[in-house]
Amino acid sequence: QATIAGPGLFYKKDGEFFELLSEQVEWKTTGALKNIASAGIVKKDLRGSVAGPSSRNFLRNPMEIVLAPPPGRTVNSYVLLPMRSKSGEREFNVGPVNKKSGVAKGAIPFGVEKVGENQFRIVLTTPLGPGEYGILGVIPDDPDGTSSKMYTFRILI
């Protein structure tokens, strides 16, 4: 059994786990982080982007991603978002959680399966198509709420 060391997001390749690299999010919506409540609930539609035309993490289906949330976070703090390339960046939109589905607007729903102490595998009902994706931890990492990191990856055919 492959091991995961410490909190973070990890993907499995050739039977081993590697850390998914995170990238800095540039919010395009003014006051964006004021609209993310401490419980990870997005209050209004937000738009953000990540620099560069593509993620450095290349994954193939069937992909296996494991979330190991840091202290104070739960697996419910993460949102899986499709991204689109535009002007050398990757953009995404995220909005409030839909009361019926429990999924944030613009997000791709996923389930989780506990695979270890504070470790959860992402379970998708259908494989992701080729393209750019990001997993956003919707609780800001710093008390001032000035930064956000997104774990990005690209699905190859």
pLDDT for residue 64 is more than 80: yes
State the pLDDT at residue 96: 82
pTM score, two decimals? 0.87
Instruction: Indicate the burial class of 129 (C-beta count within 10 angstroms; 0-12, 13-18, 19 or more).
Output: exposed
Of 8-22, 103-117, 140-154, the poorest mean pLDDT is in 140-154
Q: Residues 68-80: pLDDT tens digits?
A: 998 878 888 889 9
State the pLDDT at residue 75: 86
- Measured CA to CA, the distance from residue 98 to residue 52 in angstroms comes to 30
Tell me how crowded residue 55 is: count the other CB atoms within 10 A of its CB: 22
Contact 86, 33 (CB under 8 A): no
Tokens of 87: 């002007």
Q: Mark out the alpha helices in the chain (DSSP H runs).
A: none
First CA to last CA across the chain, in angstroms?
A: 27
Q: Residues 95-128: pLDDT tens digits?
A: 887 888 778 889 999 999 999 989 999 999 899 9
Mean pLDDT of all residues in 40-66: 87
